[in-house]
Homo-oligomer: A and B are copies of this chain.
Amino acid sequence: MYTLYDFLPSGNGYKVRLILNRLNLPYKYIEKNILADETKTEKFLRLNSSGRIPLLQLENGECLAESNAILMYLAEGSPLLPTDRLEKARVLQWLFFEQYSHEPNIAVVRFWMTHGGPTDAQTAQLASKMDAGYAALAVMETQLQQTEFLVGTSFTVADIALYAYTHVAHEGGFDLSDFPAVSEWLFRVQAQPGYTLITDIK
């Protein structure tokens, strides 16, 4: 059985919970409170030298970090990952876009706003982060006006990865009303088998 080290409010962790539930893979859940630096202990750093959750531990004890690498690992051989070379690369294109252009803006602003911010230092960066977050949503909107899911007609791990922080973007103050295709896609993801809320472990 897999062991998932995670922090419940984390969208990155939620991605992994979503795919484990979708694929009916049982797992043991171990909460690590990142606000109390529980991922910076010597013991945890031996599992993941980056000191971050989510971390997936395999049955043989080996650990895998980086939420989107975990998604790709678990999706292999399932309908959540295309086998066509270019389609698989398009899934990866969205996963890297998520970590570079979406998460550092939309997730980070949400974290600030839901954890006592913004501080003065955060306020200085807020406008540029909001602009960049809206630009990321616009890229998604362009795609979702053309296709049902991010990579064509099939639900893939790209949808899981982008859903995680998009569906809570409003907690950071993002208004999705100018992104109708994104908003409709959120409902399509929620209608998928095995869907669970970010507040639920299973």
Contacts and interface: CB of A to CB of B under 8 A. Distances in A.
Total copies of the chain: 2
Interface stretch (A96-104, A175-183, A188-196): A96-104
Nearest to A66: B96
Contact of A50 (B49, B66, B92, B101): B101
Given A93-B64, A93-B66, A73 B85 contact: yes
A70 B142 CA distance: 21
A69 B49 contact: no
A62 interface: yes
Residue among A49, A69, A86, A124 with max Cβ neighbours from chain B (10 Å): A69
Contact of A96 (B68, B101, B104, B139): B68
A143 B49 CA distance: 9
A89 B72 contact: yes
A201 to B, nearest CB: 23
A121 B58 CA distance: 43
Contacts of A85: 73, 76
Given A50-B139, A101-B50, A96 B73 contact: no
Interface size classification for chain A: 35 or more
A45 to B, nearest CB: 9
Interface in A44-96: 49-50, 58, 62, 64-70, 72-73, 76, 85-86, 88-90, 92-93, 95-96
A33 interface: no
A112 to B, nearest CB: 14
Contacts of A154: none
A96 B69 contact: yes
Nearest to A56: B89
A114 interface: no
B64 A89 contact: yes
A147 interface: no
Contacts of A138: 49
Interface in A112-163: 121, 124-125, 138-139, 142-143
